[in-house]
Amino acid sequence: MNVLNSLVGTVAPVSLQLEPSVREALSNPLLSSSLWIMIVLMGVATLLFVYMGRNVGDPRVQLMFIATIGIPAVSISSYLGLASGLTIGVVEISGRGETVTLWGRYLTWTFSTPLILLALGVLAGSHPTKIATAIVFDVLMCVTGLAAALTTQAVWLRWFWFLISSAFFAVVLYVLLIEWPQDALERERDIQGLFGTLRNLTAVLWVGYPLVWAIGSEGLALFGTGMTGVAVTSWLYSLLDVGAKFAFAFLLLRFLSDEPASAQSQAYLGSPTSADD
Ligand code: RET
C-alpha cells in the first residue's frame, strides 16, 4: 500500500499544462487560424477522397488510393496536435533567446511525406527498391529537420542539422526528378502526363519547405522572432501544405477514381498475352 501511495504521489502532480508562451501563441488569431483552417480543410478532404474511392476494386489503384487518403488523415492529427498545444514548445536558443517552435509539424511529416512518395512511386511504376530509397531518405530528412528545430546549444548547430537534412532531401529529389521519370517513360501516355504534373508540383512545393525554414522563425527570422514571425511562418507552411497535400491528392484521385486501365495491376504487371509473344 505504501508503495502504491508513493507511486500515486509521484505520478499525480504530473499534468499536461501549457507553458505561458505556448498559451500566448495559441491565443494569437493569426497563428491559430493557420491551424484550424487546415483542420477543417483536411477533414473535408479526407471525407471527399473516401467518397471518390468508394467503388475502386483494382488492388494497385486501391494502394494508391489508401496511401493518398492517408495524407490528409495524418494531417488532421498533425494540426490537432499543434492546435491543442501538445506539439508546440518553447526553445531557449543560446545567443538568440526564446522561440516558440511548432515541432509537431516536422514529426508528422515523417508519416505524411512517405505516403506522398509511395503514391508517386507506384504511379510511375517504379521498382520497390527505388520507392524504399526515396522513403528512407525522406524520413531521415524529417527527423534531422526536427533535430534542427529542437537544437538549442548554438545557432550554428541548428544550421548544421539543416544542412544534413538538406543532403537527405537531395537524394529524395534525385529519385523524384531523375529515376522515376525514366520509369514513367515505360508507362502509358495518360500516366506519363499525370506523373509529370505531380512531379513538378511536388518538386516546386517541397523546395518551398526548407526555404520557409531558412527565412522563418526557426532560421533567419526575417519576419521577426516574436509571435507574428511564428504565425507568418506557420501560415507559409500551411499554404504549402494546401498544394503539396490537397492539390496533389485531389489531382491524383480524380484521375484514379474511374480506374483507368493504364493504372490497374494488369497494365503494371504486363498483359497476359505478352508472355506468349
Ligand atoms: C526542413 C528543414 C531542414 C531542411 C529541409 C527541410 C525539408 C522539408 C520538406 C518537407 C516537406 C513536407 C511535406 C509535408 C506534407 O505533409 C525539415 C524544413 C530540407 C521537404 C510535403
Q: Which residues contact 208 (CB under 8 A, 6 or more apart)?
A: 236, 240
Q: To 10 degrees, the CA torsion angle through 175, 177, 182, 185?
A: 130
Q: Report how far residue 78's alpha carbon sits from residue 175's, in angstroms, rounded to the nearest whole number.
A: 26
Nearest ligand 1 atom, CA 214: 2
Can you give the pLDDT at residue 199? 98
- Partnered with residue 98 across adjacent β-strands are 92
Say yes or no to pLDDT of 51 above 80.
Answer: yes
| 92 φ/ψ angles, rounded to the nearest 5 degrees | -100, 95
- Using one digit for the tens of pLDDT, what is the confidence trace for 216-253? 999 999 998 899 999 999 999 999 999 999 999 999 99
Q: How far is the CA of 130 from the centre of ligand 1 (A)?
A: 20
> What are the pLDDT digits (tens) for 167-213?
999 999 999 999 999 999 999 999 999 999 999 999 999 999 999 99
Mutation test of ligand 1: which of 169, 177, 202 has the most ligand atoms closer than 8 Å to its C-beta?
A: 169
Do 94 and 152 meet the contact criterion of CB atoms below 8 Å apart? yes
Q: Is the pTM of this model over 0.75?
A: yes
pLDDT of residue 97: 87
Rounded to an integer, what distance in angstroms lies between the CA atom of residue 64 and that of residue 44? Answer: 19
Tell me what pLDDT residue 273 has.
Answer: 44
d(CA 213, CA 246): 21
* pLDDT value at residue 27: 94
Q: What is the pLDDT of residues 79-111, one digit of tens each?
A: 999 999 999 999 999 888 889 999 999 999 999
pLDDT at residue 276 in the model: 42
Question: From CA 148, how far away is CA 107, in angstroms rounded?
Answer: 12
Those residues whose C-beta lies under 8 Å from the C-beta of residue 54, and which sit 6 or more positions away, are: none
Is the confidence at residue 277, as pLDDT, over 60? no
- Residue among 93, 171, 164, 158 at smallest CA distance from 132: 171
Q: Averaged over 248-263, what is the pLDDT?
A: 92
pLDDT at 17: 77
Confidence of residue 274 (pLDDT cuts 50, 70, 90): very low
Q: What is the enclosing helix (H) or strand (E) of 97?
A: strand 97-101
Atom of ligand 1 nearest to the CA of 166: 19
Domains of the chain: 18-264 (1.20.1070.10)
Which residue's C-alpha cell is 494502394? 63
Q: What is the pLDDT of residue 275?
A: 42
Residue 267 has pLDDT above 90, yes or no: no
Q: Identify the CA nearest to 187 among candidates 134, 251, 244, 120.
A: 120
Q: Is the CB of 202 under 6 A from ligand 1?
A: no
Q: Is the pLDDT of residue 31 over 90?
A: yes
Could you tell me the three cell numbers for 213?
Answer: 525554414
Confidence of residue 117 (pLDDT cuts 50, 70, 90): very high
Burial class (CB in 10 A: 0-12, 13-18, 19+), 243: middle
Q: How far is the CA of 205 from the centre of ligand 1 (A)?
A: 10
Model pLDDT for residues 147-178, shown as the tens digit of each residue: 999 999 999 999 999 999 999 999 999 999 99
d(CA 234, CA 185): 38
Region 26-48: mean pLDDT is 97
Q: For ligand 1, is residue 148 a contact (CB within 6 Å)?
A: yes
Distance CA 99, CA 275 (A): 62
Residue nearest ligand 1's atom 11 by CA: 206
Q: Among 243, 177, 181, 176, which Cα is nearest to 209's?
A: 243
Distances in Å between the alpha carbon of 244 and those of 5, 134, 205? Answer: 51, 17, 6
**Mean pLDDT across 19-45:** 95
The answer to whether residue 11 scores a pLDDT higher than 90 is no
Question: What average pLDDT does the structure give for the chain?
Answer: 91
More confident residue, 37 or 13: 37
Would the CB of 233 count as within 6 Å of ligand 1? no
pLDDT for position 138: 98
